[in-house]
Amino acid sequence: MTETRLRFPPSPTGYLHIGGARTALYNWLYAKKTGGKLILRIEDTDAERSTEESIKGIIEGMEWLGIDWDEGPYFQTDFDADHVASAQKLLKTQKAYKCFCTKEELDAKRQAAQANKTTYGYDGTCRNLSAEQIARKEAAQLPFVIRFKVPRRDEILSYDDKVLGQIKAAYSEIEDFVIVRSTGKPLYLLCNVVDDIRDRISHVIRGQDHMTNTLRQVLLYEALEAPVPVFAHMPLTLDLKKAKISKRSHGEIVAVQFYQKHGFIPWALSNFLVLLGWSSGDDTEIYSREEMIEAFSLERINKSNSIFNYRKGDAKFFTDPKAIAINEHYLRTMPIEEIADMVKPFLKEKNLWDSAYEGEKKEWFLQTLNLIRNRFHTLTDFATLGRAYFCDEFPVEAKPLKKNILKHEGLKEWLPMLAKRYEALDEFTLETVEQTARDLATELDIKPGIIINGMRTAVTGQLAGPSMFDILVIIGRERVVRRLSEVEKLYQ
């Protein structure tokens, strides 16, 4: 079997969209699965809309997601000459022809078709011009486009889509379509095929939004005497109102960079994106890279559109809840050393990073992350909800302040008393801190919960979290004593 060759050919006209990332992933998975190659080709022929910034964003987004490519990036504009040469070849072999019809003529025919309620298609006026007629028009330097000469066969044109099955149309339904504009610029439809032929692409996995091109592209492959690749068209990703997800209507959440900024683990986002349009057929949702490569197949790509379950302005979920749940899974189960590497930039950004976390405080750092990660949703939470573990200025949430501190005036004295006892302990361990706190509650004849909850709020600013005694030991005697002694400040 010949090598499978896949491509990801984004148009660099914006950020890397999660739909684009999903396309890249499917191609990457299939290349990996079949031991093939992935080619990155930037389709930058739209000079007005393509930007350097976008190219950079796409490449950085792919690198962040860990989607590596074997060849490229190639740039479509570097191959302009190829596109023109292919159009010339089609002209020469009489598989295409010059069309001199003016816009006015075509518009008039279109309107007439509308008036008669018939569907308009180019009527082939210039298809049968004699050599003499063509020569005369050329001599008069009349502008022309180049049209592809769709074979007029009494047959059905079809291809076997790996996802959707047989896709077909009668040859007679396909009009002679334009492949080169009157400016001499080849159309995207042709460039895309010429590049895929040159790059020896064996499989084209792309969104169903490109299907309008596919039958015509099949004709181009045949006319250029190149093998037609295998096509697999993926479902679209729609929002809850069944509209395409876009930056204009959904904002930043459709950009891969948004997830990077908000503390997603790259593979967690990939894992979520793969499920958005593919399923193994069982309930498995969590896949390692290797498991995903193993499980992936084109045949199991969904036929129907996938839903990106996001409600604008949702106070609870800032993106699809499933994406968050998958991220939580990885956050809570990945080796803690890997989490530490990923948390570092987020702590740095908030000035909470200490280089000793990679040196003498490494053990403490890893233990801390391990203790607090179970309630976190994203990597950013370590620098926000986890602030009290890394510095002394941390916010105290309103709810626990009221419930655990202000409601119990006595804590003003009790917590400093406890601080003194903690200071005097020989050893500051799980057992000693717990026993000391319980003994104090017994002596004062109050419920231990009052001391423990008050302590949680004074030491972490929060209502809930890991076991309080674990927290005390991790935060350390010095800081705990200081925070308990200064509880009075919370009443001001």
- The stretch near ligand GLU (CB under 6 A) out of 8-16, 30-38, 90-98, 368-376 is 8-16
202 binds ligand GLU per the rule CB under 6 A: no
* Closest listed residue to residue 9, CA positions, set 256, 199, 217: 199
The verdict on 12 binding ligand GLU (CB under 6 A) reads no
Q: Which stretch binds ligand GLU (CB under 6 A): 7-15, 59-67, 407-415, 476-484?
A: 7-15
Nearer to ligand GLU (CB atom), residue 39 or residue 418: 39
b/e map of 81-94 (b: 16 or more CB within 10 Å)?
ebbbebbeebbeee
Name the segment binding ligand GLU (CB under 6 A); options: 4-12, 154-162, 169-177, 311-319: 4-12
Task: State the nearest-atom distance from the C-beta of 227 to ligand GLU, in Å.
Answer: 16
What is the full DSSP assignment across 198-243? HTT--EEEEEGGGHHHHHHHHHHHHHTT-PPPEEEEEPPEE-TTS-
Nearer of residues 10 and 465 to ligand GLU, judged by Cβ: 10
What is the sign, positive or negative, of the torsion defined by CA atoms of 225, 42, 8, 67?
Answer: positive
Query: Closer CB to ligand GLU, residue 211 or residue 450?
Result: 211
Distance CA 26, CA 205 (A): 7
Binding range to ligand GLU, per CB under 6 A, among 9-17, 147-155, 244-252, 396-404: 9-17
Which residue has its beta carbon closest to ligand GLU? Answer: 206
The answer to whether the CB of 451 falls within 8 A of the CB of 414 is yes
Cβ nearer to ligand GLU, comparing 46 with 123: 46
Should residue 192 be labelled a site residue for ligand GLU when binding is judged by CB under 6 A? yes
User: Residue 9 interacts with ligand GLU (CB under 6 A)?
Assistant: yes
Give the shortest CB-55-to-ligand GLU separation in angstroms.
Answer: 12
Which of 11, 125, 384, 432 forms a contact with ligand GLU (CB under 6 A)?
A: 11
Least distance CB 7 / ligand GLU (angstroms): 7
Q: Which of 260, 245, 279, 299 is nearest to 20 (CA)?
A: 245
Closest CB to ligand GLU among 208 and 432?
208
Active-site residue flag, 168: no
Among 83, 149, 162, 206, binds ligand GLU (CB under 6 A): 206
The one among 4, 5, 6, 10 contacting ligand GLU by CB under 6 A: 10
Cβ-proximal residues to 33 (8 Å cutoff; 6+ apart), any chain: 293, 294, 296, 297
Please state, in angstroms and as integers, the Cα–Cα distance from residue 82 to each residue in 12, 40, 492, following that order. 21, 18, 75
4 belongs to the binding site for ligand GLU (CB under 6 A): no
Tokens describing residue 161 = 């889509």
**Choice among 89, 98, 244, 247 that is catalytic:** 247
Would you list the DSSP string of 313-373? T-SS-SS-HHHHHHHHHHHHHS-HHHHHHHHHHHHHHTT---GGGGTTTHHHHHHHHHHHG
Number of other CB atoms surrounding residue 452 within 10 Å: 17
Residue 149, classed as helix, strand or coil, is coil
Residue 189 tokens read as: 């439809």
> Is residue 77 at the binding interface for ligand GLU, with CB under 6 A as the rule?
no
Closer to ligand GLU by CB, 82 or 470: give it. Answer: 82
Minimum distance of ligand GLU from residue 181's CB (angstroms):
18
d(CA 366, CA 142): 74
For 85-146, give the DSSP string: HHHHHHHHTTSEEEE---HHHHHHHHHHHHHTT-------GGGG--HHHHHHHHHTT---EE
What is the enclosing helix (H) or strand (E) of 148? strand 145-148
CA pair distance 15, 57, nearest whole angstrom: 6
Site string for ligand GLU, 152-191 (x = CB under 6 A): ----------------------------------------
> Contact between 210 and ligand GLU (CB under 6 A)?
yes
Query: Is residue 43 a contact point for ligand GLU (CB under 6 A)?
Result: yes
Question: How near is the Cβ of 392 to ligand GLU at its closest, in Å?
Answer: 50
Q: How far is the CB of 35 from ligand GLU (least distance, A)?
A: 22
Q: Which residues are catalytic?
A: 247
Residue ranges in contact with ligand GLU by CB under 6 A: 9-11, 43, 192, 206, 210
